[in-house]
Structure 1
Amino acid sequence: MSQVLELREKRAKAWGAAKAFLDTKRTDKGFVSAEDAATYEKMENDVMNLGKEIDRLERQAVIDAELAKATSIPITNKPNGSVDGETKQGRASDAYKRAFWDSMRKKNFYDVQNALTIGTDSEGGYLVPDEYEKKLMEALEDEVFFRNLATVIHTSGGDRKIPIVTSKGSAQWIDENGQFPDSDDAFGQTSIGAYKLATMIKVSDELLNDSVFNVETYISKEFGRRIGTKEEEAFFVGDGTGKPTGLFHETNGADTGVTAATTAITFDDVMDLYYSLRVPYRNKASWLLNDSTVKAIRKLKDGNGNYIWQPSVREGEPDRILNRPYRTSIFVPEIAAGNRVMAFGDYSYYWIADRQGRSFKRLNELFATTGQVGFLASERVDGKLILSEAIKTLDIKGTKTGA
């Protein structure tokens, strides 16, 4: 039995013991003493720490599997030819990849102009090679789990118009030889564009000239970390001004499914949110919430006295609320008056538009006095919920602090 599976079973037993302890220590009025509450908090923290250790071991397993891959493959094709006999063209070619990274490493590298002409953009930078762009996307997806839930499309330029059915026609009962009813679908449209997200990375001359230092890996991971964090924030709470519109935003975000009367979320609130979503969306739905909200929900029970939060005991499966998986993010608002604190729905109806062509630009002189070289990295992306009824939120009644 793997260590991860053992920890999952240990966590499930610890959670069961914590629930049983809380049940036995409640008074007739439903309260627990301060001493018992402290003991329960410690038991609950042990469950959470086990969950974090499981996450760490799963990440280690992914890294071990990656490092265990073969570093080379046998040559079975003719020299200078691909496996299928076709030569890669444009930004996917080996020549362009070599030229791109030579230009990133060296200040005056003039032998690459012919190759890099393919990737020159209007801002004077060079478009990232195709293979490396996939590496960047992998880094972004690792930082931003929401990309794996949403629908990602690629645009070549300008706004993209998306047709939407705003209302559907219906059938009617008619008499023999009666007139067929005229009932057409109504269509609308929304547009999705591209906002620019940028960052600057500085690398010392020594590292660039050090053949041991893998500048490609460093820039990939650092770009993914910085861009990924800002993407996730915008996809959740962005206001649509100079950035994508987040699904938790009051305008053009998800529909309100339930409004809680107080900041103490109840089982009924969670159940009402669950059933506020129509069945076709509910079949693929999952929860989105903050860690602090998960902690509050851990103590809720259904009508049969069963806790609605259930730990996963199988590898690769997330923990669940009302038997549906959930994901957490620090950018989902915490429980407070006026906040939208929880979402439930099918997030494939949130579309992320990548304007293909992430670009790097090397700055040779700006940081020369400090022995560093700057790299400008940018992408153009937009995000928008295409069908608001596909996701419902739990809102807390009241006015936001400072609003």
Structure 2
Amino acid sequence: MSDYITRLKERRANIWEQTKELLDTAEARGGDQANLTAEEEQTYQRLNADLDAIDARAKEMADAEQRTKDADEAFRALLEREPAPEARQNQEKGEVEKVRAWLTGQSGSRSYDVRPDKALPLDARALSKLTAAAGANTVPISFYNRLVQHMIEVSGILAAGPTVLRTATGEQMQIPKTTAHSANAGIVAEAAQLPANEPTFGQVSLDAYKYGFTLQVSHELANDTAV
């Protein structure tokens, strides 16, 4: 708002300087305002209209500022009055929420002012959740209804980082493998023929097996569990 007022004031000063320059030009010709040319008269009327508009806007802003001050004074007087019982209850709830927000760190403030002279009483107690009687009985308990399954990795095979093959059914899988590698390599002279030697291949079968156990659940547990 202050920047707007500054620009408005600068604009009025600029228009006023243009108006004075126009009148000074007419006076230098040996005339007065009545001897302005038609074009100068139009310019003079336009500048005066701009001045009137700026003055009216400044008056409106001054009136609005005064109304704001009057409204602030009225609200301050109303707030200083003794609140009604309903308003007092809402105020007490608001104070409770402020204390709770400060205690839990939600307010972001590192301090909280305790004023015994306020209209609302405030009692100080050394309470905690360490014991049931000191406050733990007032804290509700929530239950997470998702089971976190633990994993056991003690197999030597899994520790060796094997390749795990998954099939859609339990059929047998044939895995190709080599049974012998070339072992007749030797020194060969330049441009001499290399001896031929091929590896041999075979197959190994991987079978699927079923591992199972029985988990017995009582009818009562099935009805009452939250998981």
TM over 0.5: no
Name the TM-score, length of structure 2 as normaliser: 0.29
Higher strand share: 1
Higher helix share: 2
Higher relative contact order (CA 8 A, sep 6+): 1
The higher radius of gyration belongs to 2
Name the TM-score, length of structure 1 as normaliser: 0.17
